Amino acid sequence: MPDAYAEAESAGREDSDDDRGSGEHAAVDASQSGDEQRVSDDPVDAEEFVPEPLTATPLERTRDEVDESELAVPEPVLSPEHKAAVIDSHRHEGPPNKILILGGTSEGRKLADLITEAGLDVVTSLAGRVKRPRLPQGEVRIGGFGGPQRMGRYLMESSVDLVIDATHPFAERISASALEASTSTGTPLLRLNRPQWTPGEGDNWLSVSSAEEAARLVQERFKRPLLTIGRQQLSAFAGDARSSYLIRCVEPPDGKLPRRYLLMFDRGPFDFDSEHSLLRRHRIDVVVTKNSGGDATAAKLEAARSLHIPVIMIERPPSPPVPTVHTVAEAAQWIVEVFGSSRV
């Protein structure tokens, strides 16, 4: 197969994205005849965004994937006694006046829909990074809060009785702000965090703690990596002038890139056959991803296993020390137990 990877000097601009707001993610669906096209945005959830067509440049191929994700540090498991104590400490008489969901993930949207349909007052906060996000039911606010103090002021002025952090597992900044704001105002905080991926039989995962560590490993051992880490941390690989990168993102990256790369734009969910074909066609020798969990982008891990291709898995940051659930149903049950409202 001819080497179609573009050699391009990286733009001098640093990636300016950060974990603003609730970690929204945009996915672009741009499949065109025969070509592969995919993309991956940062702390991003492909299901949360309405497809928006992109115009491919000569350096871009069509059909890529959405933000991939992250391996993780084990989350604290509460004993039944500890769980009961936490619920008792937050117990509230009657249904909540207002619930704030820090959203941007499919789980956050589904929970907002469920709560709204139950007749409770919910506000979903989105970061505002994506031009056309898929909006949940209920009230929606767009944009960051401006730090934990201003978030705390919003909680008080809006009479928020419960905050649910349903942001992307790698959106550390907003999660830290939510913890500080809820603590300072005495507002209960619940973390809705989808289960992380775990290696199975036949997997060859190389666990790392950062994109920089992943980049060093690629430069030392591999030549044709598939990058599915979103766009915010691609600059970590900019110093590699040897490897030929296949980069899947949701929106065009705006920071420095490796010298040799091929961009692909598309959105999940992806299936095993298409991922298997992609890895073989581009002769990928390592998959680099983040452990964000979920089903939409997990097929690449199965395809890598079947082809005996190693996976460099960037671990999740430590989870905040707050009550944590992993499904929408568990979040709804937590609300019932704390507020005594059976409407959810």
Q: Where are the domains of the chain?
A: 6-71+197-314, 80-194+318-339
Whole-model pTM: value is: 0.70
- pLDDT (mean) for 298-318: 97
Task: State how far the alpha carbon of 55 is from the alpha carbons of 34, 191, 264, in Å.
Answer: 16, 37, 12
pLDDT of residue 45: 45
The amino acid at 236: A
Interacting residues of 206 by C-beta distance below 8 A, sequence separation 6+: 217, 310, 311, 312, 313
- Quick one: average pLDDT of 131-137? 76
Per-residue pLDDT, 137: 87
Give the residue-averaged pLDDT of 294-318: 95
**Tokens matching residue 23:** 């970690």
Average pLDDT of the segment spanning 90-103? 72
pLDDT, residue 47, reads: 38
Per-residue confidence band for 22, with pLDDT thresholds at 50, 70 and 90: very low
Supply the pLDDT for residue 96. 65
Confidence of residue 76 (pLDDT cuts 50, 70, 90): very low
**Per-residue pLDDT reduced to its tens digit, 238-269:** 999 999 999 999 888 888 999 999 999 987 88
pLDDT band at 341 (very low <50, low <70, confident <90, very high): low
Distance between CA atoms of residues 54 and 270, nearest Å = 19
Mean pLDDT across the chain, nearest whole number? 77
Give the pLDDT of residue 93: 52
pLDDT at residue 132 in the model: 67
Higher local confidence (pLDDT), 337 or 344: 337
CATH number of 80-194+318-339: 3.40.50.720
Tell me the percentage of the chain whose pLDDT exceeds 70.
69
For 264, the token pair is 């692909």
pLDDT computed for residue 313 by the predictor? 98
> Do residues 125 and 21 touch, judged by C-beta distance below 8 A?
yes
Report d(CA 281, CA 240) in Å as an integer.
Answer: 22
